[in-house]
Structure 1
Amino acid sequence: MTDWTEPGVFEVAPGVHRIPLPLPNDGLHTVNVYAIDDGDGVVMIDAGWALDEATDRLEASLDALGHGFGDIRRFLVTHMHRDHYTLAVALRKRFGTRIGLGLGEQPSMERVLSRRADGQLANLVVWGAQDLAERWRALILPLDAKASAAYEAPDEWLTADTVVDLDTRVLRTVPTPGHTAGHVVFVDAGSSLLFAGDHVLPHITPSIGFEPARADLPLGDYLDSLRLMREFPDMRLLPAHGPVADSVHGRVDELLKHHEDRLEATVDSVAGGTATAYETARRLGWTRRQRRFDELNLFNQVLAAGETAAHLDVLVRDGRLAASTVDGVVHYSATLV
């Protein structure tokens, strides 16, 4: 099988091309964006990270399709993480290209534009990870201004009522909160295609709630959004990270099972004596290799703490754990059966 990260232009359906773009120092290495024929122009699903190498790669790819940046009619962006959004902003400054983004991203966008991009610091304290918060502050705050400068508000906020009529197809916007509060996917029912962004990924599970304005119950939102995909006919999966896959339903079932197992492991950890999200995260295994928490780098430790808190909060909602706050830190405990 061809390595999905290899550069090039790959037709995944008539009039739809996958374009892998590079990411810097990222475990994923690559993000897929999709160019959809629209008459004498193209519509892009996601944009990539605003990097010189990614910009050059996208320009060369469009040239291979007989287009240039000026032929992009609009960017439809699945969510506001910088590997999906910021190159759209950079190209809009040059070409005036319109950008659409899910309405649920508005609170996080407002925080970013007001230079309050790092919502994780306060959360880390609530999760009992004060030492992690101090290291995170030292790493991330110097980068906040530069990161925020790459952002601008979209031209259009996309909702469940947003339907995009193209030359030969219709795209339906479907809100799928979880990975971020405003994540959306685009359904091409006529061609049985799902432009899934980071909602359904073929080989990995997306992070949950890593954003400036975190939702109250991001994992609950994500599980509901996964089940929503089951209400559509099965489609071909066009993900942002990973190869194209034949079945959305098959991967959704795997992701739901993964989180069921993770919830069980989280309950067992609390029953074994962990009290905070941070303590629980340190006891659980991470990645498919079940790596120890201390083996993760700082960024992934922050992700792990947030993931664990998301699972704990769902368990509290479901009555399987109890929660109380002591000196600003949430403590979890087993409930009596």
Structure 2
Amino acid sequence: MAEAFDHGGGVRSVRVPIPDNPLGHTLVYVVDTDRGPVLVDTGWDDPAAWDALTAGLTACGTSVGEVAGVVVTHHHPDHHGLSGQVREVSGAWVAMHAADAAIVRRARETRPGRWYAYMAAKLTAAGAPEEHVAPLRAARGRRTLPGLSPALPDREIVPGELLDLPGRRLRAIWTPGHTPGHVCLHLEEEHPAHLPGRGRLFSGDHLLPEITPHIGLYEDPDDATVTDPLGDYLDSLERVGRLAPAEVLPAHQHVFADASGRVRELLAHHEERLTGLLALLREPLTPWQLAERMEWNRPWSQIPYGSRTIAVSEAEAHLRRLVKLGRAEPVTGSEPVAYVAA
């Protein structure tokens, strides 16, 4: 049975499954416009996901062939994966923020061996043990790398501007952090149930009701710029909190109200986590050692290989924030670089 829900005011959602992922599904939103339905995200590029999306659109009273456009909140495959297939069937345009479009372009153009070598070097510099890095060294000769042929968007989402959705007022809000080009979308229309607040917010992965999005490093093999993704995320959270929407329509879990309250919870969570990391950094630790000691949803020994790489990236993002704030510093002469509380 197709899982579709009517949120009122010409907005529906379809639950599109994510294969082998504890998140379970992506909520793809279907927004009615004067030129036909526009999707906010599309879901994972997988046959079961495609079947769920097409069945869900049918349950919404439309079809893939009628889709006029796709607005992508960010480039991750559980959001952008099916965009190309939707465009092939319908001729729809696909829009994305320039920063994430650049990542899509780079992913398509970079040789797999370059990615493996880059990730091996990054993990080695973070203090990863050889048994974790070895599979990446062994994979350098592969000619293909899964997930690196995402669809190129053909429209750019410009922060602060209304998107070209005839009959609707959907404004792009740039919210970097989870990715450098993540956007939330503010539907500047009265809530259909007249809830207090300013319209509705399609929040992608930026603002979720019960979980915190992954904040890791922005990876680019050809750019050595020292970014601050966690700082970007915290600034973006405050910007969204000031919008005070009546309701938030996230890409995972469920719709919720009180965006400002959720923003306060997330800001407090990250401040608490940074304070906890400073306690760990009473002794010098590499990013890998810090990740081993951080609190995750399961013991480190039970975290699978790929998730450990993601965890180290998150540890590094927190370290960068602490260094930028002057609360931690690298240990001179350490190799790999260790950090200690300042």
TM norm structure 2: 0.88
1:293 paired residue number: 300
Choose which of 266, 279, 283 in structure 2 pairs with 1:268.
Answer: 279
- Give secondary structure in 2 for the equivalent of 1:17: strand
In structure 2, C-alpha distance between the alignment counterparts of 1:299 and 1:87, rounded to whole Å: 23
Q: Is 2:249 the partner of 1:250?
A: no
* Contact kept in structure 1, 2:125 and 2:336, CA below 8 Å: yes
Residue pair 1:30, 1:241 contacting (<8 A) in 2 also: yes
Show structure 2 runs of 5+ residues with no match: 191-198
Find 2:328's aligned residue among 321, 329, 335: 321
The equivalences for 1:67-216 within 5 A come to 67-116=62-111, 118=115, 120-131=119-130, 132-135=132-135, 144-149=144-149, 151-191=150-190, 192-209=199-216, 212-213=219-220, 216=227
| Structure 1 residue 168, shift from structure 2 partner | 3.7
Alignment CA distance shift 1:247-1:137 (3 Å): farther
Residue equivalent to 2:52: 57
CA contact (8 A) 1:125 1:133 kept: yes
Higher mean C-alpha deviation, range 216-225 or range 233-242: 233-242
* C-alpha spacing 1:257/1:39, structure 2 compared with 1 (3 Å): same
Q: Indicate the SS of the match to 2:7.
A: strand
Report the equivalent of 1:24.
19
The aligned residue for residue 237 of structure 1 is 248
Between the aligned partners of 2:87 and 2:317, the Cα distance in structure 1 is 35
TM-superposed deviation, 1:320: 0.7
The aligned counterpart of 1:282 is: 292
For residues 99 and 26 of structure 1, the distance between their equivalents in structure 2, rounded to whole angstroms, comes to 25
Q: Secondary structure at the match of 2:44?
A: coil
Aligned-residue Cα RMSD (Å) equals 2.3
Give the CA deviation at 1:127: 1.5
Long gaps (5+) in structure 1: 1-5
Counting only pairs closer than 5 Å after superposition, residues 295-310 of structure 1 correspond to structure 2 as 295-310=302-317
How far did 1:263 drift? 0.2
Q: Please give the alpha-carbon distance, in whole angstroms, between the structure 2 residues aligned to 1:235 and 1:302.
A: 37
Contact preservation (8 Å) 2:42, 2:82: yes
Please state how far the C-alpha of 1:313 moved relative to its aligned partner: 0.9
Task: Map 1:29-40; keep pairs closer than 5 Å.
Answer: 29-39=24-34
Distance change (3 Å), C-alpha of 1:141 and 1:197: farther
> Comparing both structures, which one devotes a greater share of its residues to strand?
1
Q: Secondary structure at the match of 2:94?
A: strand
Corresponding residue number in structure 2 for 1:312: 319
**Aligned equivalents of 2:203, 2:279: Cα separation in 1:** 32
d(CA) in 2 for partners of 1:243 and 1:163? 25
Conservation of the 8 A alpha-carbon contact between 1:112 and 1:212? no
> What are the superposed Cα offsets for residues 75-117 of structure 1, whole Å, 9 maximum, x if unpaired?
0000000111120112223332110011111442232011357
- Does the 8 Å contact 1:120/1:210 carry over to 2? no
CA distance in structure 2 between the partners assigned to 1:228 and 1:86 by the alignment: 28
Q: Distance in 1 between matches of 2:71 and 2:141?
A: 29
Q: Distance in 2 between matches of 1:326 and 1:228?
A: 39
Partner of 1:8: 3
Deviation for aligned residue 1:162: 3.2
Helix, strand or coil at the partner of 1:300: helix
**Structure 1 counterpart of 2:57, which letter?**
L
Structure 1 Cα separation of the partners of residues 219 and 318 of structure 2: 19
Measured in 1, the distance between the counterparts of 2:209 and 2:270 equals 15
Q: Is this contact kept in 2: 1:19–1:34, CA < 8 A?
A: yes
Structure 1 residues 159 and 324, CA gap change in structure 2 (3 angstroms) = farther
The answer as to whether partners of 1:49 and 1:85 remain within 8 angstroms in 2 is: yes
- Partner SS, residue 157 of structure 1: strand
Structure-1 residue corresponding to 2:233: 222
Distance 1:64 1:261, change over 3 A: same
Q: SS of the counterpart of 1:179?
A: coil
